């Protein structure tokens, strides 16, 4: 009998694991997803989806490069992933020095980064760059934007063709463990799925689902504001680079039919995601209106767009700002793939598949993502530390080692 793997969650991470595991056959794969077939209720369906290749952490840069390559090779083509470039902007001398440092970091990682003067930066993304207040820019031509939903649907279709079985409207309610080994997964549809391996890929719900197997996964879900402008009368394929103001922790994107802008300049509050079945929540005007207004002020005055749609989207942070990818140390056959962004999901899920197949992953340094690395520490304190990382998400590494790693 072939090995049976149950994947919990059909967001971008679960879909990539399913496509990877079924590619070479020999493994029976079932994916349990509580949403319906085309209803991405996790974070994947809501992300504006910039993919920055250069991170402060070499492993994260390597995962981003691998993810971009994977998305680019999918049959969804440019609809799923498009290398429009990423432009980082400085509005102060300190911020410019940071961009110069990041240009060196990029060179070390073998990724092209081009320092731009203010005129060149403004020419690269005229809608987003306020020439008067910009002192320089750093363009990464190989950065891109991913449509998380398109990429995920493509990977799901690929996995299905390769024999994966998707079960929708199936909320996982139990993970049965016998001795120190996973045995089966139970779901709200009443079925019990025997499993040699179980992969937890449920995004912000990772802590709750891992607890079903008695395993602590210290994640902090955070709420993040993103807004869209009005839909343009004549949409175009978006070719403007996405833009990041690192110091101001804001970013903007051309979606082709409208512009969008987001910010990390809000206080991440504790969230009880066990009570939510969507990775979005109502817009908390008291907390989000001012940070978004500050972000909009970064645009040239004539391009500060009226807000049409407000999104309060949720994603997960960890105490060291790195994802959790690998086997559980406590329970044999249990695998964790959590706190992954779209930027790193493809590469990380592919590496997890290699681990599950007993093959050496193509990327070095994955031990930094070991889900057990926090085992000796207090879970609640870890969650509080993780929440604090939200505002620091793009900061350079600190001497204490609490590094920015997401890029």
- Give the one residue of 124, 155, 201, 292 binding ligand FAD; rule: CB under 6 A: 201
Q: Which residue stretch of 3-11, 160-168, 292-300, 396-404 sits at the interface with ligand FAD (rule: CB under 6 A)?
A: 3-11
The residues near 222 (Cβ < 8 Å, ≥ 6 apart) are 268, 271, 314, 315, 316, 317, 387, 390
Q: Give whichever of 12 and 90 is closer to ligand FAD, judged by the CB atom.
A: 12
Task: Find residue 199's DSSP bridge partners.
Answer: 7, 335
Q: Give whichever of 115 and 395 is closer to ligand FAD, judged by the CB atom.
A: 395
Q: Is 95 left (phi over 0), alpha (psi -120 to 50) or beta?
A: alpha
CA distance 217 to 219: 6
Q: Which residue stretch of 41-49, 159-167, 228-236, 354-362 sits at the interface with ligand FAD (rule: CB under 6 A)?
A: 41-49
User: Does 46 interact with ligand FAD (rule: CB under 6 A)?
Assistant: yes
Q: Give whichever of 51 and 65 is closer to ligand FAD, judged by the CB atom.
A: 51
* Cross-sheet strand order for the sheet of 81-82: 50-51, 144-146, 81-82
Give pairs for 372-377: CB < 8 Å, separation 24+: 372/326, 372/328, 372/329, 372/330, 373/320, 374/218, 374/319, 375/329, 377/218, 377/319
The residues near 37 (Cβ < 8 Å, ≥ 6 apart) are 166, 168
Q: Judge contact between 199 and 335, C-beta under 8 A.
A: yes
User: Does 22 interact with ligand FAD (rule: CB under 6 A)?
Assistant: no
Binding to ligand FAD by CB under 6 A, coded x per residue (else -) over 338-377, reads --xxxx-x--------------------------------
Q: Give whichever of 96 and 292 is closer to ligand FAD, judged by the CB atom.
A: 292
Q: Give whichever of 116 and 145 is closer to ligand FAD, judged by the CB atom.
A: 145
User: Does 223 interact with ligand FAD (rule: CB under 6 A)?
Assistant: no
Q: Which residue stretch of 4-12, 20-28, 228-236, 282-290 sits at the interface with ligand FAD (rule: CB under 6 A)?
A: 4-12
Q: Give whichever of 201 and 240 is closer to ligand FAD, judged by the CB atom.
A: 201
User: Does 229 interact with ligand FAD (rule: CB under 6 A)?
Assistant: no
Length of the chain: 407
| Total of residues contacting ligand FAD (CB under 6 A) | 43
Binding to ligand FAD by CB under 6 A, coded x per residue (else -) over 285-314, reads --------------------------x-xx
CA 198, 337, 160, 355 torsion-angle sign = negative
Minimum distance of ligand FAD from residue 402's CB (angstroms): 20
């Amino acid at each position: 009998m072939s090995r049976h793997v149950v994947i919990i969650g059909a967001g971008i991470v679960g879909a990539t694991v399913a496509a990877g595991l079924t590619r070479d056959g020999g493994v029976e794969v079932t994916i349990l997803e509580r949403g319906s077939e085309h209803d991405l209720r996790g974070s994947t369906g809501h992300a504006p989806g910039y993919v920055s290749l250069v991170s402060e952490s070499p492993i994260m840069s390597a995962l981003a490069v691998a993810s971009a390559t994977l998305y680019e090779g999918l049959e969804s083509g440019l609809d799923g992933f498009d290398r429009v470039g990423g432009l980082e902007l400085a509005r102060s001398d300190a911020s410019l020095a940071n961009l110069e440092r990041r240009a060196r970091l990029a060179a070390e990682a073998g990724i092209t980064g081009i320092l731009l003067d203010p005129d060149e930066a403004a020419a690269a993304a005229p809608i987003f760059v306020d020439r008067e207040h910009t002192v320089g820019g750093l363009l990464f031509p190989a950065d891109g934007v991913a449509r998380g939903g398109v990429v995920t649907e493509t990977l799901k279709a690929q996995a299905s063709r390769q024999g994966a079985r998707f079960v929708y409207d199936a909320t996982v309610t139990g993970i049965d463990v016998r001795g120190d080994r996973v045995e089966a997964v139970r779901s709200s549809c009443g079925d019990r799925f025997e499993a040699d391996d179980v992969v937890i890929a449920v995004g912000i719900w990772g802590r709750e689902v891992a607890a079903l197997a008695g395993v602590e996964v210290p994640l902090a879900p955070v709420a993040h504001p993103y807004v869209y402008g009005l839909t343009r009368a004549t949409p175009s394929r978006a070719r403007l680079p996405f833009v990041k103001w690192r110091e101001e922790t804001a970013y903007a994107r051309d979606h082709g039919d409208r512009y969008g802008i987001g910010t990390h300049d809000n206080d991440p509050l504790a969230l009880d995601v066990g009570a939510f079945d969507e990775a979005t929540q109502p817009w908390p005007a008291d907390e989000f209106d001012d940070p978004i207004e500050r972000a909009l002020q970064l645009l040239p005055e004539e391009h500060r767009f009226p807000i049409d749609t407000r999104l309060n989207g949720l994603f997960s942070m960890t105490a060291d700002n790195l994802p959790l990818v690998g086997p559980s140390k406590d329970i044999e056959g249990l695998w964790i793939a959590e706190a992954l962004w779209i930027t790193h999901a493809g590469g990380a899920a592919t590496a997890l598949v290699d681990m599950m197949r007993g093959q050496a992953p193509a990327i070095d340094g994955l031990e930094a993502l070991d889900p057990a690395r926090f085992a000796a520490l207090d879970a609640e304190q870890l969650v509080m530390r993780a929440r604090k990382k939200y505002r620091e998400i793009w900061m350079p590494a600190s001497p204490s080692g609490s590094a920015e790693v997401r890029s």
